[in-house]
Amino acid sequence: MALAELEPLNVDEEYRLLIGGEWVAAESGTYEIVNPNTTQVIGHAPEASISQVNDAAAAAKAALPGWRDTPMAERCAMIGRAADLLEQKLGGLVGLVQGETGATINVSESIQIPSCADRFRHYETPVNVDDPIEPYPVAENPLGPGGLSCAHVIRQPVGVVACITSYNFPLVNMSGKIAPALAMGNTLVIKPAPQDPLAVIKMGEIIEEAGFPPGVINIITGSGAVAGAALVESRDVNMISFTGSSAVGAKIMQSGGSTMKRLLMELGGKGACVLTDDCNVDGAVGAIASVWGFHSGQICTAPTRVIVHRSRYDELVDKLTAVAGLLKLGDPLDRETIVGPVITELHRDRVEHFIASGVADGATLLCGGRRPDLPGYFVEPTLLADCTSDMRVVQREIFGPVVVVLAHDDDDHAVELANDSDYGLFSYVFAGTTARAFEVGKRIESGNVGLNSMAPHIHAPFGGFKMSGVGRDRGVYGLHAYSEIQALSWMSS
Ligand code: NAD
């Protein structure tokens, strides 16, 4: 067992909120942050009062004119400086982010930290976000002399953006919002998830050193839904950029409606993974096993809903069962560990409940499903076969290390099963040729489809169909997401 050596965490360290450029203590005290592996308290997060949430929104509003009028090149240069600082300093946060998320040391070091600086790096170069529009001649008419009708269409920042994120990748999810929103000229109130906000606060300290003016970035934390709900209600907030469950997303859409909030909603997923009769099963097995090994399935884009051609069914489930048996579950600090804990006791119970419901509904439990004899919140890699589309385990997002398998008869049937879902975030097709995967993939109702591959293109638009979200980010789409379109028009004689 090769345990990673990390600096011990100081459980008494004081974490503060950032409001209008000042780091302040929370008015409602603090709450405990628990390590999902040890179940020990590793720190205390600030519990913001409602008036502090409102102060943060007001500070962001006050900072907006100055930041909006700062040339994009200067804004992007500051984002580049933030990327430099994150690359230099974020390594010091591996222990903290690992401790509060429970992610394995390999996932913490290779994803939780470096992807965060990358998200800033992507927006360090200014780009033209204005949309070209052709002038057109207008003949003289009773209402005017005619001439050349011209318009210039520009993108303005939306204003104050509240960024509310999920617990699974606290730094990455938040930096994916901060960087494009700031590049576009918005000011921010960021609110990380209650379970693991500490590294985000520390990331805020690092980003601040890049020189962002006071009030451009504000940080609020809290143990429940109160702080997020207050941001959604606030008249000072123009847009909610949300990453989280579809259920909370729907609530936000409802309560944000009265103040006409602009929305970017990055919600739940139940990724279909179609295997055609001529596919390379081994390639698909590696991708599907990532549901178990990659942060214990706590990933919205995971290929959890496997739809395999009947002729390859036995081969697939045999290989998946064999792989599941090889995955080491246990201490996330052990470099050989592949499967760490899920985030909380409550979530572990929820995942177990889903597995039991699958068996009760007629699925065959091929492996996993038991609670390991460990103090943390572990779920074994679980494989449920003989599933049908009407089962809860097939329809609902489990967000744990659980794979369900269904059989299909041909490509049409596979597409029908893939689309029999409320979700449509990231799906996958494994076929004998990329051309066949392409033909099947474009029929799947899903914002993204991986073809014989799990790897997304970093600049491709990311977002969901159906209950998986509204809007797109990444690349230039991220800048569009955080902008309002304005048309300035005139008649040239
Ligand atoms: P969650 O919906 O429980 O919480 C997300 C955030 O919403 C948290 O910060 C929470 O405090 C806040 N919140 C809760 N109630 C609120 C309210 N009424 N008003 C405003 N904010 C409120 O999600 P979670 O359990 O943290 O994360 C798991 C979910 O996130 C899964 O469904 C997963 O698929 C999804 N997710 C989606 C993406 C994506 O890009 N589409 C990425 C990561 C995670």
163 ligand 1 Cβ < 6 A: no
**CA-194 nearest atom, ligand 1:** 11
What pLDDT does residue 38 have?
Answer: 97
What pLDDT does residue 493 have?
Answer: 77
Report pLDDT digits (tens) over 306-358.
Answer: 999 999 999 999 999 999 999 999 999 999 999 999 999 999 999 999 999 99
424 ligand 1 Cβ < 6 A: no
**CA-464 nearest atom, ligand 1:** 41
Question: pLDDT band at residue 3, thresholds of 50, 70 and 90?
Answer: confident
Query: For ligand 1, atom 23, which residue shows the shortest CA distance?
Result: 244
Query: For ligand 1, atom 14, which residue shows the shortest CA distance?
Result: 225
Are 458 and 431 in contact, with CB atoms under 8 Å apart? no
Question: pLDDT band at residue 6, thresholds of 50, 70 and 90?
Answer: confident
111 ligand 1 Cβ < 6 A: no
| Angstrom distances, CA of residue 167 to CA of 30, 126, 261, 418 | 18, 30, 23, 27
What whole-number percentage of the chain has pLDDT above 90? 95
Query: For ligand 1, atom 39, which residue shows the shortest CA distance?
Result: 266
pTM of the model: 0.97
168 ligand 1 Cβ < 6 A: yes
Active-site residue (options: 76, 116, 163, 300): 300
232 ligand 1 Cβ < 6 A: yes
**CA-399 nearest atom, ligand 1:** 31
What pLDDT does residue 132 have?
Answer: 82
Report pLDDT digits (tens) over 178-235.
Answer: 999 999 999 999 999 999 999 999 999 999 999 999 999 999 999 999 999 999 999 9
Catalytic (active site) residue 300: yes
Compute the CA torsion angle 63, 68, 71, 76 (nearest 10 deg). 80
Report pLDDT digits (tens) over 402-431.
Answer: 999 999 999 999 999 999 999 999 999 999
Report pLDDT digits (tens) over 15-54.
Answer: 999 999 999 999 999 999 999 999 999 999 999 999 999 9
Q: What is the mean pLDDT of residues 287-302?
A: 95
Report pLDDT digits (tens) over 121-152.
Answer: 999 999 999 888 999 999 999 988 899 999 99
Could you give the CA distance from residue 4 to residue 461 in angstroms, rounded to a whole number?
A: 36
Are 156 and 484 in contact, with CB atoms under 8 Å apart? yes
What pLDDT does residue 87 have?
Answer: 95
Q: What is the DSSP string of 365-400?
A: EEE--S--SSSS-----EEEES--TTSHHHHS---S
193 ligand 1 Cβ < 6 A: yes
**CA-397 nearest atom, ligand 1:** 32
